[in-house]
A and B are shown apart, each in its own frame.
Chain A
Amino acid sequence: MSALTAGQILVPKTYIINRAALVTYANASGDQNPIHQNEEFAKSVGLENVIAHGMYTMGLVGQYISEIAGSSSKVKEFSARFTKPVVVPADTDVELVVSATVTEIIDGCAKLEVTATCNDAKVLGMTKAVILL
């Protein structure tokens, strides 16, 4: 990894979210809420369609941050606000685009501000991380 500097804009990465990925995440995380898998159920509770687990979206952003840090073990703090659900229709690959800016280098750590969008709309707010350099 090249050295990070304050103000640096990091290369964005695109993640694909689809129904199969939601099933895999549900099994790995234990969160089997049907709004993340069952279209009929999701619509019955007023949702447009099946939505991704907020923690799945945040987890993918965590992967992006871990990659920047060089390892999951270097992520010290990570926070996000769930501002907009990621809607995942059947047979569709939804693109999650993640990017970040280095806001500060301090005490051997880099502070990052992260943006996560689907179809050009922000899906997470206040997304921040602190990684060890």
Chain B
Amino acid sequence: MLNPDLVGSTFEGATSTTISAESIAAFATALGESDTHIAPPTYAITISLEQSQAVLEGSGLDWSRVVHGDQRFAINKPLTAGMVITCNSTIESARMVAGNEIVTVRSDLIESREVTVSSWSTLVFRA
């Protein structure tokens, strides 16, 4: 179980990611998008999920038991090639329901101290 003291904690991403044109094009193409220059609305997951995983593995949850429950994005500025992004993740909530632990992590993708996209992933760790 997640240490309740960690709820509200923010973990700052140690490394930055430079978004490449190839990465956006591959993601857009996989979704059948004809415009391969602007990141699709779900592209942020390629950055945020890895960060959420790192945060939660460090807190002792068993990643092999995880199911993605809910996902939300708030897009202030679309992601484009050349942006240098750092990702800060905050554990917003953790609760037990029928033996399953449900954790919501918000990841803020930041460029030049400005939040471009916020991504909320609710993950269910099955009992």
Contacts and interface: CB of A to CB of B under 8 A. Distances in A.
A65 B41 contact: yes
Interface of B: 23, 26-33, 35, 38-42, 45-46, 49-50, 67-75, 78, 120
A65 B75 CA distance: 14
Which secondary structure characterizes the binding site on chain B?
mixed
B29 A75 contact: no
Contacts of B42: 55, 58-59, 62, 78
A66 B30 contact: no
B32 A60 contact: yes
A79 B71 contact: yes
A21 interface: yes
A2 interface: no
Contact of A72 (B30, B33, B46): B33
Interface stretch (A4-12, A24-32, A86-94, A102-110): A24-32
Contact of B45 (A55, A75, A76): A55
The CB with the most chain A CB atoms within 10 A, among B30, B32, B120, is that of B30
Contact of A77 (B33, B46, B75): B75
A72 B26 contact: no
Contacts of A78: 41-42, 72-73, 75
Contacts of A119: none
24 contacts: A24-B29, A28-B23, A28-B26, A28-B29, A29-B27, A29-B46, A30-B46, A31-B49, A54-B68, A55-B68, A56-B30, A59-B42, A60-B32, A62-B40, A63-B32, A63-B33, A72-B38, A72-B39, A78-B72, A78-B75, A79-B73, A80-B71, A81-B70, A126-B70
